[in-house]
Amino acid sequence: MDDKVWISILVVAFLFILLLFFLIKQVMKKQQHKDDTTLDGDDVTEHPIFTSVTLSGNDHVSVEGITCFVEFLDVDNEILNPNFIQGVLKNVSLDGVTFVCGVEYPIIDDMTIKIRFSLKETVFILKGRIVRKEVYQESERFGYSAVFTSSYEEDRELLHQILEKIMVEKRKKLVSNRGCGESMV
């Protein structure tokens, strides 16, 4: 066969695979939207206020007790050893996280990290920059706040959806703990 024929076949195959990818993605989005709108069936009609939450980038959602793994990137300083630690998340927002660990690191300008954590059975691996350190002297632990520096729009949207679900669950639990007859105000 001629080279032009092979190139044409490859282009057509590539376009077909690309079309198939987009079709599958659309079907998955529709299924996700369908799953999100059915939330817990009757609970949605009983408590319509809990069907959605609007989160901005600055809204921190408390997720204490979730293990995270942090890798300090581009670090040539021996003081920053180990450059891979395990911590526990305190909170997550669309813009960043706060985690606690037992290792103290000096804050250096532009200290870049890669953080891995799971929320609702979804694994996130995001790059960030440490912006603040807190010292908890009573427990000899250290808290670090990081802002995300690079995240794909798909990751951000997925994180947004999961944080909204966590907030809805927390509000439902708060209402059920207060009892049906008490005011929420």
**Could you give the CA distance from residue 135 to residue 154 in angstroms, rounded to a whole number?**
34
Q: What is the mean pLDDT of the segment spanning 58-82?
A: 76
Written as six digits, the tokens of 135 are 């010292």
Cα angle 129-130-133, degrees, rounded to a multiple of 5: 170
Q: Which residue shows structure tokens 């003081």?
A: 79
**Could you give the CA distance from residue 24 to residue 149 in angstroms, rounded to a whole number?**
29
Task: Name which of 142, 93, 100 is nearest 119 in CA terms.
Answer: 93
What confidence tens digit (pLDDT) does each residue in 133-147 have? 888 877 888 999 999
**Could you give the CA distance from residue 134 to residue 121 in angstroms, rounded to a whole number?**
29
Written as six digits, the tokens of 81 are 């050893």
Q: Name residue 184's amino acid.
A: M
What confidence tens digit (pLDDT) does each residue in 154-177 have? 888 898 999 998 888 888 887 777
Written as six digits, the tokens of 51 are 């069907």
pLDDT value of residue 41: 41
Q: Name residue 174's amino acid.
A: L
Any residues with CB less than 8 A from the CB of 126 and at least 6 apart, and which?
114, 115, 148, 150, 151, 155
DSSP secondary structure letter of residue 75: -
DSSP secondary structure letter of residue 110: T
Q: How confident is the model at residue 80 (pLDDT cuts 50, 70, 90)?
A: low
**Could you give the CA distance from residue 88 to residue 117 in angstroms, rounded to a whole number?**
9
Are 115 and 86 spatial neighbours (Cβ–Cβ below 8 Å)?
A: no
Among 57-71, 83-97, 138-152, which is the least confidently predicted range?
57-71
**Could you give the CA distance from residue 5 to residue 111 in angstroms, rounded to a whole number?**
52
Give the Å distances, CA to CA, from 145 to 1, 129, 132, 170.
Answer: 60, 8, 5, 23
